[in-house]
A and B are shown apart, each in its own frame.
Chain A
C-alpha cells in the first residue's frame, strides 16, 4: 500500500464512529490491517457460511443483512449504515458469517483483515479488551433491538 493510501486509510479509520475514543495505537492497528473498498449497489460484501475473515467499517452507504428463507427469497433482518460495522462474526468462533451482506446503494468501507486483527489483539490484551468492549456494546444494542422487534409493537395489541 502506498504512503498516500495509508494516510487515506488512517484518516477513514480515525473518523469512524465505531472506533471513536479508542487510543491512537488502536487506530494505527486498524489502519495497518485495513484498506478502503467500495461496492456497487446490489453487490455482496460477504455471504452466509463463508469464513468471516473481514470486518467492514462502513463509511458511506447502507448494507442490508439478509437471510434466505424458503419460498420468500432474501429477507432483510437489519440494515447497517455509515459509522457502523458490517460483519461481527470474525470476533467469535466459528468465524463464519451468519448472514449475507448486500450493498443497498453504493457503499464505501474500510475492509479490516480480521485474522491479522485477531492475532494483534491477542498479543495486546489491553487493546483486545477495549476492542471487545466496543464490540460487546454493538452486539448488545443489536440484541436489544432484535428483542424489541420480536415484540411486534406495531402489530395488534403490540403497544
Chain B
C-alpha cells in the first residue's frame, strides 16, 4: 500500500458477528472488492464507522489469508459503540495493516512462550496464540496462556481457551471478582505466573492488557528470570494516522502506530511505563 493509499479506507462488509461479552463484539469482515492484505498478529487496522469516525483496533483472528478479517471491539465510545452495533451486511472502512507484530515466527524452537493477557488484551494476542498452539502441536515449544478478566462472564474467547488447553497449552484464568459457580482462580493475573511451570531460560513473553498489568507483569517475569529484552508488550495510545505522520500517538521516542504497538519491554517500555503524564 502506498503512502496515499494508506490513508484511504477500503470498504469491508460485515459477514459475521459474535457477542464475546456484554460490551465486546467480534466482527468478521471481508473486502467488498479484492483480497484483504496479509497481516501478522499484533498489528492493527484503522477501522471506520462511516459518519462516526475511525479507531485503531488490533486484528484478533487468524492471520491466514483464507479467513475473514476479525476485529474484537470493546464498546467504550461513540465509534466503538457504532462498530459493535454493526449488523451483518453493514459496510465499514478498513485501512492497514499497521505497526509491529508479536513476531511469533522468530521464536526459537524449544523456547517456552508465556502469553499474559488482561481483559480485551487477549484479542490482539489471539492470532499469536493460534500460531503458538500450532507450533506446540508440531513439537516446537510450549505455550503458557495466562488470562485475567474482571469477572467470569467477561472472559473472552472461552471456546478458544478450552481448545488451546486440549491441544496441550497451559491455560490459567483468573478473575478479579468471582461469581456463584466459579471455581477458578480469583486474584490478579500476575499471580498465575507462580503456578506456570515454564522454563525462564530462553523464554519469550507476550503481554497485552491494561498498562498497569503489563508493568507488574513485566517485572514479575523478569523477577522469575526471563530476559527483559525477550518480553514484548503492546502499547495503546491515541492512534490517528497510523503511519507515523501526525504524532498523536507519540510516547517518548516512540510513535506507537509506526514503532509499535508491539515493543520490547526491557530497555524501552519498562522506562516508558514509568514516565508520568504520557
B178 touches A104 (CB 8 A): no
- Residues from chain B with a CB closer than 8 A to the CB of A75 are 177-178
**Is B191 within 8 A of A158, CB to CB?**
no
Cα distance A34–B184 when bound, in Å? 28
CB distance from B173 to the nearest CB of A (A): 11
In residues 175-207 of chain B, which contact A (Cβ within 8 Å)? 176-178, 180, 182-188, 190-191, 194-195
Q: Enumerate B224-275 residues with CB–CB distance to A below 8 Å.
A: 236
- Report the minimum CB–CB distance from A85 to chain B (whole Å): 13
CB nearest neighbor in B for A153: B210
- What B residues does A76 contact at CB under 8 A? 178, 182, 186
Bound together, the chains give a CA A73 to CA B180 distance in angstroms of: 8
Q: Does A128 contact B (CB under 8 A)?
A: no
Interface size, chain A (Cβ < 8 Å): 26
**Counting chain A CB atoms within 10 Å of each CB, which of B149, B154, B191, B236 scores highest?**
B191
A84 to B118, CA, bound (A): 23
- Tell whether A148 is near chain B: CB-to-CB under 8 Å: yes
Q: Which residue of B lies closest to A41 (CB)?
A: B183
| B154 CB to nearest A CB, Å | 7
Complex contact B180–A64 (CB within 8 A): no
Cβ of A133 under 8 Å from chain B = no
Residues of A70-113 at the interface with B, using a CB-CB cut-off of 8 Å, are: 73, 75-79, 81-84, 104-105
B178 near A149 with CB under 8 A, answer no
Q: Please, which residues of chain B bring their CB within 8 A of the CB of A156?
A: 76
| Residue A16, interface by CB 8 Å | no
Chain A nearest CB: distance from B158 CB in Å? Answer: 16
Given contacts A62-B185, A76-B178, A148-B188, contact A153 B195 (CB under 8 A): no
Contact B186 A154 (CB under 8 A): no
Say yes or no: is A132 at the interface (Cβ < 8 Å to chain B): no
Of the four ranges (under 10, 10 to 19, 20 to 34, 35 or more), the interface on chain B belongs to 20 to 34
Q: A136 interface residue, CB < 8 Å from B?
A: no
Q: Is the CB of A153 within 8 A of B178?
A: no
Of the candidates B118, B187, B191, B194, which one forms a contact with A153 in the assembled complex, judged by CB atoms under 8 Å apart?
A: B118
Q: Is B150 an interface residue (CB 8 A)?
A: yes
Q: Which residue of B lies closest to A105 (CB)?
A: B183
Residues of B within 8 A of A145 (CB): 187-188, 190-191
User: For residue B50, which residues in chain A have a CB less than 8 angstroms away from its CB?
Assistant: none
Q: How far, in whole Å, are A82 and B196 apart by their CA atoms in the complex?
A: 12
Q: Which of A81, A105, A159 interacts with B210 by CB under 8 Å?
A: A159
Inside 8 A of B76's CB, which chain A residues have their CB?
156-157
Stretch at the interface among B12-20, B27-35, B64-72, B211-219: B211-219
CB atoms of B150 and A159 under 8 A apart: no
The contact of A78 among B119, B187, B211, by CB within 8 Å, is B187
Q: For B188, list chain A residues within 8 Å (CB).
A: 145, 148-149
A residues engaging B (CB < 8 A)?
A: 62, 64, 73, 75-79, 81-84, 104-105, 145, 148-149, 151-159
Question: Which residues of B come within 8 Å of A, CB atoms?
Answer: 76, 118-120, 148-150, 154, 174, 176-178, 180, 182-188, 190-191, 194-195, 209-213, 216, 236
A-B residue pairs in contact (CB < 8 Å), sample of 8: A73-B180, A79-B186, A84-B194, A148-B188, A148-B212, A153-B210, A153-B212, A157-B76
